C-alpha cells in the first residue's frame, strides 16, 4: 500500500459500503517509523482476547450450518444452541470490553469493510498510522487492526478522521461488512415500521 497515492487509498476506502453508526473505538497513533505488521503477522501482535473472539465466531457459524439441513426436527435443538451461543457471546463481550481503554476511546461516525470515520476533538495528520480496536456491541465482537489517516475534516468543534484499514484479518473485515449490513437491515425495518405507525 506504500506506493499508492492518497487518491488510490480514498478509492479503496470508498469501495466498501459504510453505515452511519456510533461504535466505541480505541485509537492509538503509532510512533514515527514504527511499521504496521502485515495482515499475515497481525495475529502475533494481537491481544489474545481478539484472537479467540474471532475463532469463536467462526466455530459458531460452522457448528450451526449442518443443522439447517435437518429441517423441522432441528428447530428445538437450533433454538437451544442459539441460546447457549448467546450466553457465550455475552461472556466474550465482557472479556473484550476489558480491552477497551477509556484514555484513547472515541466514537465512530461511520464504519464499513474498508475503514472507519472517527470523531475526535483534535485533528490528525494525513498518513498517521494507528492501532485500532473496534467494539461491536450488538455482535458481541471486537476487531483489532491497524489503520492510516487518509482524511481529516472539521465538523463544528470536532474533527472527522477517516482511517483506511492497512492491516486487518480477512475474517474481521467480513465481520465488519456483515455488521454494517445487519445494522442497515435493522434501520430499514425500523423505518418501515415508523411509516406504518
Q: Which of 47, 10, 13, 53 is nearest to 28 (CA)?
A: 47
| Every domain of the chain and the residues it spans | 6-31+43-196
- Tens of pLDDT, residue by residue over 67-92, are 666 666 677 777 777 778 777 777 77
Q: Check residue 61 and give its pLDDT.
A: 63
Q: Check residue 88 and give its pLDDT.
A: 78
User: What's the CATH code, domain 6-31+43-196?
Assistant: 2.40.10.220
Residue 57 has pLDDT above 70, yes or no: no
Out of 122-126, 175-179, 182-186, least confident range = 182-186
| Sign for the pseudo-dihedral over CA of 95, 99, 102, 106 | negative
Contact partners, residue 29, CB within 8 Å, separation at least 6: 124, 128, 129, 130
Residue 1 has pLDDT above 50, yes or no: no
Q: Does 94 or 125 have the greater pLDDT score?
A: 125
Amino acid at each position: 500500500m506504500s506506493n499508492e497515492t492518497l487518491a488510490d487509498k480514498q478509492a479503496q476506502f470508498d469501495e466498501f459500503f459504510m453505515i452511519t453508526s456510533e461504535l466505541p473505538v480505541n485509537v492509538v497513533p503509532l510512533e514515527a517509523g514504527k511499521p504496521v505488521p502485515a495482515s499475515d503477522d497481525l495475529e502475533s501482535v494481537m491481544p489474545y482476547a481478539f484472537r479467540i473472539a474471532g475463532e469463536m465466531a467462526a466455530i459458531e457459524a460452522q457448528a450451526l450450518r449442518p443443522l439447517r439441513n435437518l429441517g423441522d426436527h432441528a428447530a428445538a435443538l437450533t433454538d437451544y444452541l442459539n441460546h447457549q451461543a448467546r450466553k457465550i457471546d455475552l461472556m466474550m463481550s465482557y472479556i473484550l470490553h476489558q480491552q477497551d481503554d477509556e484514555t484513547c476511546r472515541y466514537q465512530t461516525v461511520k464504519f464499513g469493510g474498508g475503514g472507519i470515520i472517527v470523531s475526535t476533538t483534535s485533528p490528525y495528520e494525513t498518513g498517521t498510522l494507528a492501532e485500532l480496536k473496534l467494539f461491536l456491541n450488538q455482535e458481541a465482537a471486537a476487531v483489532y487492526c491497524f489503520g492510516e489517516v487518509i482524511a481529516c475534516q472539521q465538523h463544528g468543534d470536532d474533527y472527522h478522521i477517516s482511517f483506511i484499514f492497512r492491516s486487518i484479518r480477512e475474517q474481521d473485515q467480513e465481520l465488519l461488512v456483515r455488521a454494517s449490513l445487519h445494522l442497515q437491515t435493522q434501520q430499514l425495518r425500523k423505518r418501515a415500521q415508523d411509516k406504518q405507525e
